[in-house]
Amino acid sequence: MAETTTETQSLAAALVALQAKMPRITKGETAKVPTKNGPGYSYRYADLASISAQLMPVMSEVGLAFTARPTIHDGRFVLAYSLVHSPSKEREDGFYPLPDGSNPQAVGSAITYARRYCLLAVTGAAPDDEDDDAQAARDTKVDTRRQPAQESGPRITDEERRFATQVIAQIEKAKTTDQLNKLFQQVSAATEEGLTEATATNLTNRMKAKAKALEAAA
């Protein structure tokens, strides 16, 4: 069937059209949470991939696009998101705070949750049984308390040391937060490819400190 496009003149009109066509977003994933006492519990939720698959085509029909990326803003680690109306160029921008945890996997989960939350919030979409989402939010929180030191950890390779040295040099030379944001993207990509937690945390903290210094000097 050919896609039907609804012409809209403004961001507000596009949202009205979107909500009139809003698909039913079902929860197809189950999360199991262990507890110290007892067998634990589980809850159902709609993950980012299924929400996007159901919502994005309808958004496209009315001229809406959603973007989100982690970045540093005012010295804080945030998700910068935008809802854009292509015909009018109107947009709604915002920032969702992200945790300063040192565990890259936990931070990655928090970013995914934030993208999901912001997409639902700016479009007005809501999965079935929304109460379960509150539990999902609690389970994506990152424990930032100091953890006991482990006896051993991943070995830092010479390649990783060279990468860290290059990034640190670029952080020191950075003159704008845009330059720091690009470095942050490089570190995030390197983390996904195996950069150790210790190095990623060190570089991220250096970027945050430099961002605060740039803002203070502005």
Using a pLDDT cut of 90, give the percent of the chain over it: 22
Q: CA-to-CA distance for 114 and 55, rounded, in angstroms? A: 16
Q: Are 28 and 109 part of one and the same domain?
A: yes
Which residue reads 């910068």 in tokens? 80
Q: Are 13 and 47 part of one and the same domain?
A: yes
Q: CA-to-CA distance for 44 and 30, rounded, in angstroms? A: 4
Any domain includes 81: yes
From 91, 112, 142, give the residue that closes a domain: 142
Mean pLDDT of the chain: 78
The predicted-structure confidence for 91-116, as pLDDT tens digits, reads as follows 999 999 888 765 777 788 888 888 98
In angstroms, how far is the first alpha carbon of the chain from the final one?
A: 55
Any domain includes 152: no
From 142, 174, 190, give the residue that closes a domain: 142
Any domain includes 103: yes
Q: Are 182 and 134 part of one and the same domain?
A: no
Q: Are 124 and 20 part of one and the same domain?
A: yes
From 142, 176, 197, give the residue that closes a domain: 142
State the residue range of the domain holding 95. 8-142
The total of structural domains in the chain comes to: 2
Q: Are 165 and 87 part of one and the same domain?
A: no
Q: Are 52 and 29 part of one and the same domain?
A: yes
Per-residue pLDDT band at 156 (split at 50, 70, 90): confident
CB-based contacts of 198: which residues, under 8 Å, 6+ apart? 153, 154, 156
Per-residue pLDDT band at 173 (split at 50, 70, 90): confident
Q: Are 109 and 60 part of one and the same domain?
A: yes
pTM: 0.57
Q: Say whether pLDDT at 133 is over 80.
A: no
How distant, in Å, are the alpha carbons of 11, 41, 140, 162, 217 from that of 37? 50, 11, 21, 46, 52
Q: Which residues of 195-210 are buried (b: 16+ CB within 10 A; e: fewer)?
A: bbbebbbbbbebbbeb
Question: Cα dihedral angle (138, 127, 104, 147), rounded to 10 degrees?
Answer: 10
Q: Are 80 and 15 part of one and the same domain?
A: yes
CB 115 within 8 Å of CB 81 = yes
Of the two residues 47 and 38, the one the predictor is more confident about is 47
Q: Say whether pLDDT at 4 is over 60.
A: no
Q: Are 43 and 74 part of one and the same domain?
A: yes
Angle at 184 between CA 168 and CA 159, to 5 degrees: 50
Q: Are 50 and 124 part of one and the same domain?
A: yes
Tell me phi and psi for residue 100, to 5 degrees: -95, 30
Q: Say whether pLDDT at 150 is over 60.
A: no
At 16 the pLDDT is 92
- Say which range, 3-17, 35-49, 147-161, 174-188, has the weakest mean pLDDT: 147-161
Q: Are 162 and 91 part of one and the same domain?
A: no
Q: Are 121 and 73 part of one and the same domain?
A: yes
